Amino acid sequence: MNITVIGTGYVGLVSGTCFAEMGNKVTCIDVDANKIEKLKQGIIPIFEPGLEAMVKRNYENKTLRFSTQLSEHLEKCDIAFIAVGTPMGDDGSADLKYVLQVAKEIGENMSHPIIVVDKSTVPVGTADKVRATIKEALNKRQLDIAFEVVSNPEFLKEGDAIKDFMKPDRVVIGSDDVPTTEKMRDLYAPFFRSGSARLITMDVRSAEMTKYVANAMLATKISFMNEVANICELVGADVNDVRIGIGSDSRIGYSFIYPGSGYGGSCFPKDVKALHRTAAEHGYEARLVAAVEAVNDTQKLVIAKKVTKRFGEDLTGKTFAVWGLSFKPDTDDMREAPAIYVIKELIERGAKIKAYDPKAMHEAQEFYLKGIEGITYCNSKYEAVIDADAMVLLTDWKEFRIPDFEELKTQLKNPIVFDGRNQYNDKMMRENGFEYFQIGKKAV
Ligand code: NAD
């Protein structure tokens, strides 16, 4: 099939490349000319395991192209995917300006019947708005061209995006038109060959809702477990044991019940807020959803509170090594990362930071921590701990899992570790002579 993917970010670039890998002819469009130029030169703007090789291979095979010109590519296209950002608006709702701008451009340029797919995460009712926007643009051109609007929310995880897209757990298609659903089924059929994945079809509104509910459910598990961790700490229980104890119940399961420094990223924070907002717009106060968010806001600073409890409210003259900046491992994405909040808090209290992350240093320096004085960016995790008063671990990158504890102890001014991701065994830390603080258990 001829496919146009509009918006070449995490979702658009991964989806477009994976569709090309399956033999479709794909053009990825973006308004960011710099990004498109780089992609043509084989420079991938994001870090995502396996993506670079796949982009290069398909670009060389000419199954994947990049352009800033939507109008040229719509002419040949069967299916147009909208994969632009839907950032949080001022009132917490999803800002649809990019989605509706693309819908307008589609209406202004389409010349034959096409399927328009909302791949971006968009609130219930957005497909109707996209349809109306395209229709309005067609009316202005005095044209009556048939088109369908489908909801096909994306469930890939950054860091595992290629794997998730190539072997999805499920693909959700929301459409009210049977031939359109069949065409979408044909498009996704190659992705279902090897696994037990399912293509789930439903009406458009249910598909739109499914994405928000999936993210809100996962965020709820995280916030619930973080709340449990905080209670464990007060009552002298060990959340690590509690986690294993409850996860063994097949109705609960082990996934997404790790206590930590709160969730971040481009999706959970904004999607939980947007779901709350959608409910409010329909006159319903979604109390549990609001609590999930409130717990997370507090949790992001739990590790900073442990630092001030240990070192005092005024951290002037203290230096902390921070291991991990990205919101989770295997990505350079720092959107809403707990590290941003913790670092700002420590710096406001007078501390200096020596930061290291395997992939997110550029994002931190250029965007998320830009201009903040008092941060030194280090070339390795061991360089970061030299003469630091303590180490603060904020992202569970694999390379932090079993560090050389002897070297860590030798380089730190004090053998103190604040672990925001419960990576280490406290007995082992104590035996190695560390003062060790983690989430949901009293310090040793
Ligand atoms: P992103 O910010 O990485 O990329 C969006 C891209 O769209 C940017 O490159 C931007 O330049 C481009 N764009 C904006 N307006 C445009 C226009 N008019 N024409 C062409 N390009 C335009 O965003 P993302 O992380 O890929 O997320 C995209 C959507 O997918 C969001 O709704 C998000 O919630 C959803 N989503 C994201 C993830 C994830 O892990 N990142 C997972 C599932 C769903």
pLDDT attached to residue 50:
95
The residues that are catalytic are 267
pLDDT tens string 127-180 = 999 999 999 999 999 999 999 999 999 999 999 999 999 999 999 999 999 999
> Given a cut of 90, is residue 57 above it in pLDDT?
yes
The CATH number of the structural domain formed by 2-202 is 3.40.50.720
The answer for residues whose C-beta is within 8 angstroms of residue 11's C-beta and 6 or more apart is: 83, 119, 120, 154, 156
Give the number of other Cβ atoms within 10 Å of residue 170's Cβ. Answer: 13
Report CA(184)–ligand 1 centroid distance (Å).
21
The four Cα atoms 391, 394, 396, 397 give a dihedral, to 10 degrees, of: -70
Region 178-202 average pLDDT: 89
pLDDT attached to residue 189:
94
3-state SS, one letter per residue, for the chain? CEEEEECCCHHHHHHHHHHHHCCCEEEEECCCHHHHHHHHCCCCCCCCCCHHHHHHHHHHCCCEEEECCHHHHHCCCCEEEECCCCCECCCCCECCHHHHHHHHHHHHHCCCCEEEEECCCCCCCHHHHHHHHHHHHHHHCCCCCCEEEEECCCCCCCCCHHHHHHCCCEEEEECCCHHHHHHHHHHHHHHHCCCCCEEEEECHHHHHHHHHHHHHHHHHHHHHHHHHHHHHHHHCCCHHHHHHHHHCCCCCCCCCCCCCCCCCCCCHHHHHHHHHHHHHHCCCCCHHHHHHHHHHHHHCCHHHHHHHHHHCCCCCCCEEEEECCCCCCCCCCCCCCHHHHHHHHHHHCCCEEEEECCCCHHHHHHHHCCCCCCEEECCCHHHHHCCCCEEEECCCCHHHCCCCHHHHHHHCCCCEEEECCCCCCHHHHHHCCCEEEECCECCC
pLDDT attached to residue 197:
63
What would you report as the CA-atom Rg of the chain, rounded to the nearest whole angstrom? 24
Mean pLDDT of the chain: 96
Percent of the residues in the chain that have a pLDDT greater than 90, as a whole number: 96
Task: Tell me the C-alpha distance between 439 and 441, whole Å.
Answer: 6
pLDDT band at residue 196 under the 50/70/90 scheme: low
pLDDT tens string 379-425 = 999 999 999 999 999 999 999 999 999 999 999 999 999 999 999 99
Report CA(359)–ligand 1 centroid distance (Å).
20
Q: Do domains 212-297 and 300-438 have the same CATH topology?
A: no
The CATH number of the structural domain formed by 212-297 is 1.10.1040.10
Task: Tell me the C-alpha distance between 84 and 29, whole Å.
Answer: 10
Can you say whether residue 312 is alpha, beta or left, with left for phi > 0 and alpha for psi between -120 and 50 degrees?
left
Give the number of other Cβ atoms within 10 Å of residue 34's Cβ. Answer: 10
Query: Looking up tokens 């780089």, which residue turns up?
Result: 38
- Taking CA atoms, 133 is separated from 108, 138, 226, in Å, by 10, 9, 42
Report CA(96)–ligand 1 centroid distance (Å).
11
pLDDT attached to residue 195:
59
Q: Which residues line ligand 1 (CB under 6 A)?
A: 6-12, 29-32, 35, 83-86, 98, 101-102, 120-121, 154, 156, 158, 266-267
> Given a cut of 80, is residue 108 above it in pLDDT?
yes
Can you say whether residue 440 is alpha, beta or left, with left for phi > 0 and alpha for psi between -120 and 50 degrees?
left
Which residue has a Cα nearest atom 29 of ligand 1? 120
Give the number of other Cβ atoms within 10 Å of residue 310's Cβ. Answer: 15
> Given a cut of 70, is residue 275 above it in pLDDT?
yes
> Given a cut of 70, is residue 362 above it in pLDDT?
yes
pLDDT attached to residue 266:
87
- Domain range summary for the chain, segments of one domain joined by +: 2-202, 212-297, 300-438
- Specify the amino acid at residue 267: C
Region 435-444 average pLDDT: 89
Region 341-356 average pLDDT: 98
pLDDT attached to residue 156:
97
Residue to mutate (ligand 1; options 4, 5, 8, 11; most atoms within 8 A of CB): 11
pLDDT band at residue 38 under the 50/70/90 scheme: very high
pTM score, whole prediction? 0.94
Report CA(380)–ligand 1 centroid distance (Å).
31
Which residue has a Cα nearest atom 27 of ligand 1? 85
Task: Tell me the C-alpha distance between 39 and 59, whole Å.
Answer: 9
Give the number of other Cβ atoms within 10 Å of residue 401's Cβ. Answer: 12
Region 273-279 average pLDDT: 96
- Specify the amino acid at residue 223: S
Q: Which long-range contacts (CB under 8 A, 24 or more apart) does 365-369 make?
A: 367/334, 368/325, 368/334, 368/335, 368/337, 368/340, 369/325, 369/340, 369/343, 369/344
Which residue has a Cα nearest atom 15 of ligand 1? 98
> Given a cut of 80, is residue 325 above it in pLDDT?
yes
Closest ligand 1 atom number to CA of residue 11? 26
Region 69-85 average pLDDT: 95
Region 70-89 average pLDDT: 94
Does 300-438 carry CATH code 3.40.50.720?
A: yes
Q: Which of 2-6, 89-93, 180-184 has the lowest mean pLDDT?
A: 89-93
